[in-house]
Amino acid sequence: MPRHPTMKDVAHEARVSLKTVSRHVNGETNIDPILADRISAAIVKLGYRRNLSAASIRPGRTSKTIGLVISDLANPYYSTLARAIESVADAAGYLVTIASSEEEGLRHDRLVDRLMEQRVDGLIVVPPRNAARDWSDVAAPIPPLVFLDRPVPYAEADAVLADNAAGAREATLALASVGSRRIAFVGDSLDIYTMRERHAGYAAALAEAGIGVDDSLTITTARTREQAEREVGAVLRDDSADAVFAANNRSTIGALLAFQTAGRRLPLVGFDDFETSLLGNPPVSVVSQDIELMGRTAADIVLGRLNGDTSAFAVRMLPTQLILRGSEKPEPEEAEERLSRGPSRQ
């Protein structure tokens, strides 16, 4: 593998000075067409490519790169966010370096440090659940920083979040409005910010509907799809609830699996839409976040800061959307149901 040709090589080949090549490469116009042609020819002949790493160390120049630290790129929620960010960044001429923290504070901090050492121009970050270092302990200068999807652990930054509490409230009200009274909350630990928010919205809706919160209906052990399935299976056996608010994707799918196994279902609304929500029978009602908008907003904020926006730091709370597809309603009576259904389906 040959060495990378440099500007000096090009200059030599084209019998011009370094500076003239630099001008040519940077698209300046005041340059003799004769020389320009010679330079172009030399560039093609040698296969010259700019070294942006080298260029970026000059004062005032940057890497035109944005760093993104999320929990897990394999999670569709985060890959959708990443895609939206990448899309906005690319349109502005920026690359995106993406890293997964796996919710581990130390790993997160290591990745942030690495990205700063790489001199990214901006940083978009999903704070890990188990935060390690405090952001106020990070030495200046910190590049424009946006927190995503989680509460803001640091004042000198912007943030973009979904209104989890409002979404959960709407979902729970929808279940209550068609007659459910013992609505179970099925989700992950309330140590997780989004879960706390969603549970708060759930509780608020119950209060509004004149239903007391029954703690035995709050299930926070659904870390995986399988656990959710077991928990909802137990609910069905005990007949302890008459509806389910599934506070995340895994809980929704676990609930559906439990319904399938039991041969009967409860009214259900889930948090976060999923690819096959239309395939349920009935189709599954969900609280949907505009994930792409969240990503685009975060990227826009960073790019705005890079373009000199010095307005006060702010938290953008984005609304969610309740999509009712039918699963929020109670199961029809047996006889009636048989009629309304085809002889079989997937």
Partner DNA sequence: TTGTACGCGTTATCAT
Partner DNA sequence: ATGATAACGCGTACAA
Q: Is the peptide bond before 282 cis (omega within 30 degrees of 0)?
A: yes
Site string for DNA, 228-267 (x = CB under 7 A): ----------------------------------------
Site for DNA in 6-45 (CB under 7 A): 6-8, 16-20, 22-23, 25-26, 30-32, 34-35
Count the neighbouring beta carbons within 10 Å of the beta carbon of residue 283: 15
Using rule CB under 7 A, residue 293 touches DNA: no
Can residue 4 be called a binding residue for DNA (CB under 7 A)?
yes
Report d(CA 233, CA 184) in Å as an integer.
12
Residue 306 binding DNA, by CB under 7 A: no
Q: Which 96-115 positions form the footprint of its own copies (CB under 8 A)? A: 96-100, 111, 113-115
The entry of DNA, its own copies, none that residue 31 binds, CB within 5 to 8 Å by partner kind: DNA
Length in residues, the chain = 346
Q: Is 54 a binder of its own copies (CB under 8 A)?
A: yes
Please, are residues 212 and 243 in contact by the beta-carbon 8 Å criterion? no
Q: Cβ of residue 169: shortest distance to its own copies, in angstroms? A: 24
> Quick one: which of 172, 206, 183, 189 has its CA closest to 250?
189
Residues 174 and 202: their CA atoms lie apart, in Å, by: 11
In the complex with its own copies, the residue whose CB is nearer, 272 or 300, is: 272
Q: Are 209 and 173 in contact (CB under 8 A)?
A: yes
Binding mask 42-81 for DNA (x = CB under 7 A): --------xx--xx-xxxxx--------------------
Tell me if 269 contacts its own copies by CB under 8 A.
Answer: no
Which among 135, 142, 134, 94 has a CA at the least distance from the CA of 117?
A: 142
Q: Quick one: which of 231, 226, 224 has its CA closest to 248?
A: 224
DSSP H or E segment with residue 21:
helix 18-25
The item of DNA, its own copies, none sharing an interface with residue 98, based on CB under 5 to 8 Å by kind, is its own copies
* Kind of pairing between the strands at 243-246 and 285-289: unpaired
Which residue matches tokens 């790129």? 73
Total residues contacting its own copies by CB under 8 A comes to 76
Q: Which of 190, 200, 211, 262 binds its own copies (CB under 8 A)?
A: 262
For DNA, how many residues bind (rule: CB under 7 A)?
Answer: 28
- Candidates 279, 314, 315, 317; binder of its own copies (CB under 8 A) is 279
CA angle at 213 for the pair 318 and 247, rounded to the nearest 5°: 40
In the complex, which residues of this chain contact DNA (CB under 7 A)? 3-4, 6-8, 16-20, 22-23, 25-26, 30-32, 34-35, 50-51, 54-55, 57-61
